[in-house]
Chains A and B, each alone.
Chain A
C-alpha cells in the first residue's frame, strides 16, 4: 500500500514525512525541556550602556503540563535574595511574583510577561514559554551553524495558544538534539530576539545541553551572556519553594537521594 501511495503521490508523502519529523522533533525537544526538577547555577552578564554581572540560582519544576521556575540572585551582595517566581500551566498565560529584599513582593500578571527578567535581554515569557509544545511545527530548511549542520524548526502558536511572538525558528543540531540558535519573531515577521549558543556540554542526565547563551533583543546595543556553572537533576523541592511565601528564601537544591 505504501509503495502504491509512493508511486501515486510521491510529493504528498514527502510533505507528510517532513511534517511528522517536525512534530516528532518538536515533541522530543519539548520533552527535554520539560524534564522534571532541577537546579541550575549560572552567571549572567548584561552588557549595554554599562555592564552588570549576576550569579543566579534557578530552581525549576517542569512537567508536560506545567512549569514553575524561581530565579534567585546570589551575587552581588546588594541584589542578593532578589527573586522571580514564574508559573505556567498548559496553554494558559504565565503569572508570577517578584521579591525584592527586605520585604517587597509584587505579583506579575500576564500583561507583564513581556518585561525584562532581572534587567536582561530575556523576558519572563522567554523563561517559561515552551514553544516546542505549540501546535504548529515545521522543518523549513537546513543551515550550518558553527560548522554544525542544523535543521531549522519553525514553531507557531496554534489555536488557543497565546504568545507575544508570532513564530520562533530553532536551529537544531540533529546529531545531539540540541538547539544552537533560536530566533523569535513578532506577528509581523520582525526579528525580536536571537539566542545563540557556542558551547554544548553533556549534563548529569547524559543529555547534550547548551552551556552558554548569548541573547540579543530589541534593546539597542544590549547583549546578555549566560554561562552555566552547574546543573543538578532529580532535585527534591518543597511546594513552599515555589509559593509566594517561600521563594524569598535562598537555599540550595537537595538531590532526591540525599
Chain B
C-alpha cells in the first residue's frame, strides 16, 4: 500500500461525509466561477464591442453611474483635429427602459460615423438619413422587445420605426437599440450633448503611441477621460463595484468551504487517532502524518474544485436559457479562470488542513494503547 492509497482510503472511510464536504467546497468554487465568469464576460464583451467597431480609444466620463455623463459635442471637434486621430465618432449611450423592457442600451451614433460600419444587416435596411424617424435593433434587442421590421418603437417622446435588425458582432451591440445621434439628441432635448467619443488612431500606431495619444487627448479635453478601448469599463466605479461584489460573494462562499473541509479533517484526525498512533509506532515520522492530512485535504479541495467548475459552468449555461436573462449574459469561462478556481480550491483545502494536521502532529505512539 503506497502513500497515495492511504490518502485516498482515508477519504473513502466516510464516503457520505466526504461527499457532503465535497458539495460544500464545490458550491463555493461554483460561485467563484459563475460570478467572476459573468463579470469578466461583461467586460470582455464591451472590449469585443469596441474591437468590432474598430475603436482604439474611448473618450467618456464614467462616474459611478452605469451610463457615462454627458459633455459638450464640441469636444469631438477638438479631438478630431489631432493629427494622430484617423477618425472620431460621437455617441450618446444611455441605459433606459424601452417600452416594457426594463433596461436596454440605447446607442445613438453620429450619422456617417465609423461606429455604424461594423453593423451587419440581418434583415431590413439602415436608416436613409440621420433625421429619419428610424432605429435598427441588435438581434437580441429585437427578441427582447418582440419587434420585427416595420414595427413601431416608442423611444422617449417619439414613435420610431424599426427599419433593420443587425448583428453587431458582440453581446452589447446585439442588445442595443441603435439610431442616429442627431435624431436622439432631438427627441431627448439633448442637443449638442454626447457622452462617448470613439476614436480610431492613425494606422500603424503602436500600443505605446496609442497610450500617448490618450494623454494628449486628456490634455485638450479635460471634460472626459480618454482610455485605450477595453480598459475604459474597468474605470467605471459601477463596474468596479459589481466586480468587487462578485469577488466578495465568492470569497464568502469559499470561507464556508474552508470551514467545511476543516471540520471534516478535524473529525478525521479525532476518529483515526488510533490508526495514526499505530503508524507512528511502526516508524512513520510526525511530518509524514502531517503530509498525509494535508494531502487528504488538498485532494478534497482539488476534487471540489473540479466539481465546482463543472457546476458553475452548467449553472450559468442554464441561467442563460431563462427567458428573463436570455441574451443578456456572455460569460467568459476561459482556461485561466478554470485554473485559478481549481488552484484556489486546492489552496483552500491545504489551508483547511493546517490545523487538523498540527493536531495530528501532537499524537504519540503511546496514545494507541489508551484506545
Contacts and interface: CB of A to CB of B under 8 A. Distances in A.
Q: Interface residues of A toward B: which range?
A: 20 to 34
Contacts of B156: 41, 57, 74, 252
Nearest to B156: A252
Nearest to A252: B189
Interface in B157-173: 157, 159
A32 B157 CA distance: 27
B94 A230 contact: yes
A136 B208 CA distance: 65
Contacts of A253: 189
A258 B192 contact: yes
B102 A53 contact: no
Interface string A201-238: 11000000000000000000000000101101001000
Interface in A42-101: 42-43, 53, 55, 57, 74-77, 80
Interface in A80-126: 80
A254 B154 CA distance: 19
B187 interface: yes
A250 interface: yes
A146 interface: no
Given A43-B102, A202-B65, A258-B192, A227 B157 contact: no
B64 interface: yes
A43, A57, A76: which has the most chain B beta carbons within 10 Å? Answer: A43
Contacts of A251: 157
Interface in B69-112: 94, 96-97, 99-100, 102
A146 to B, nearest CB: 16
B190 A55 contact: no
Contact of B189 (A42, A74, A250, A258): A258
Interface residues of B, number: 20
Interface string B140-159: 00000000000010101101
A198 interface: no
B102 A74 contact: no
B64 A258 contact: no
Nearest to A258: B191
Interface string B187-202: 1111111000000000
B65 A55 contact: no
B189 A55 contact: no
Nearest to A72: B157
Contact of B187 (A53, A227, A235, A252): A252
Contact of B154 (A74, A202, A227, A235): A74
Contacts of B189: 39, 232, 235, 252-255, 258
A77 B187 CA distance: 17
A201 B152 CA distance: 31
A77 B191 CA distance: 26
Contacts of B192: 258
A55 B102 contact: no
A77 B64 CA distance: 34
B33 to A, nearest CB: 28
Contact of A227 (B64, B102, B191): B102
Nearest to B188: A252
B188 to A, nearest CB: 6
A33 B65 CA distance: 22
Pick from A57, A80, A201, A229 the residue with the most CB of B within 10 Å: A229
Contacts of A258: 189-193
A186 to B, nearest CB: 34
Contact of A43 (B64, B65, B97, B191): B97
Contacts of B96: 41, 229-230
Contact of B157 (A42, A76, A232, A252): A252
A11 B1 CA distance: 81
A75 B152 CA distance: 11
Interface in B187-236: 187-193
Given A77-B152, A227-B97, A202 B64 contact: yes
Contacts of A227: 97, 102
A75 B154 contact: yes
Contacts of A254: 189, 191
A57 B102 CA distance: 16
Interface in A164-199: none
Of listed B64, B94, B157, B193, residue having the most chain A CB within 10 A: B157
B64 to A, nearest CB: 7
Given A230-B94, A258-B191, A74 B64 contact: no
Given A57-B156, A252-B156, A258-B190, 6 more contacts: A39-B189, A75-B99, A76-B99, A252-B187, A255-B189, A258-B189
Interface of A: 39, 41-43, 53, 55, 57, 74-77, 80, 201-202, 227, 229-230, 232, 235, 250-255, 258
16 contacts: A41-B97, A53-B99, A55-B99, A76-B154, A77-B152, A77-B154, A77-B159, A80-B159, A227-B97, A230-B96, A232-B189, A235-B189, A252-B156, A252-B157, A252-B189, A258-B189
